């Protein structure tokens, strides 16, 4: 996978196979560069065309300083092929990998996101919130599992915008 040569630590991986393509995601860390990256690779079944890219997805900018959070969990939506990532920042983001855009960010959970899973029809998302000791031994919220309803608008990819005619 793309991230394997880039990383010092592979954190999590997820795979998918749909009608036209198969592929996977990996989350990795390169502490020397101060980067946490999610890489996506996809191969079209008929043409054999290969696509790969990486992006930084759980980060916060304050006072001109970026804070980058590890991605601990990923899950593909079973109907739309979009995917969710969960990080040490306590957020779950939903992404459209084909359009390389974030679709939705859920409200912050009490602690780091340790695991994610959509049910078979994609109407529910299980979120495990568990302190992952990224800041050492400190007081923290108890571990919890949340099951939330998923609205179509949160996970359905938006149509790709076509460029307009030149002026």
Long-range contact pairs involving 15-24 (C-beta distance under 8 Å, separation at least 24): 15/76, 16/76, 16/81, 16/83, 18/81, 20/44, 20/45, 20/46, 21/45
Q: What are phi and psi of 148, to 5 degrees?
A: -120, 150
Map out the domains of the chain as residue ranges: 2-155
Residue 107's contacts (CB-CB under 8 Å, 6 or more residues apart) are: none
pLDDT per position as a tens digit, 18-72: 666 676 666 666 555 556 667 677 667 677 766 776 777 777 878 888 777 888 8
* CATH of the domain spanning 2-155: 2.130.10.10
pLDDT per position as a tens digit, 6-19: 455 656 667 666 66
pLDDT at 155 over 90: yes
**Residue-wise DSSP of 105-158:** EPPPPSS-EEEEEE-TTSSEEEEEE----TT-S---PPPEEEEEE--HHHHSPP
């Amino acid at each position: 996978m793309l991230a394997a040569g880039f990383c010092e630590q592979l954190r999590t991986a997820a795979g998918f196979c749909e009608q036209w393509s198969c592929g996977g995601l990996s989350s990795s860390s390169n502490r020397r560069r101060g980067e946490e990256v999610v890489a996506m690779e996809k191969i079209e079944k008929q043409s054999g065309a290969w696509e790969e890219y990486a992006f930084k997805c759980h980060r916060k900018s304050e006072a001109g300083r970026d804070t980058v959070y590890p991605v601990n969990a990923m899950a593909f939506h079973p109907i739309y092929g979009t995917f969710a990532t969960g990080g040490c920042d306590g957020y779950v983001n939903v992404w459209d990998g084909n359009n390389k855009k974030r679709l939705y960010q859920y409200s912050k959970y009490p602690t780091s996101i340790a695991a994610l899973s959509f049910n078979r029809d994609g109407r529910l998302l299980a979120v495990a919130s568990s302190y992952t000791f990224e800041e050492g031994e400190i007081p923290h919220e108890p571990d919890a599992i949340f099951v939330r309803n998923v609205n179509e608008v949160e996970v359905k990819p938006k149509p790709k915008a076509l460029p307009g005619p030149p002026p």
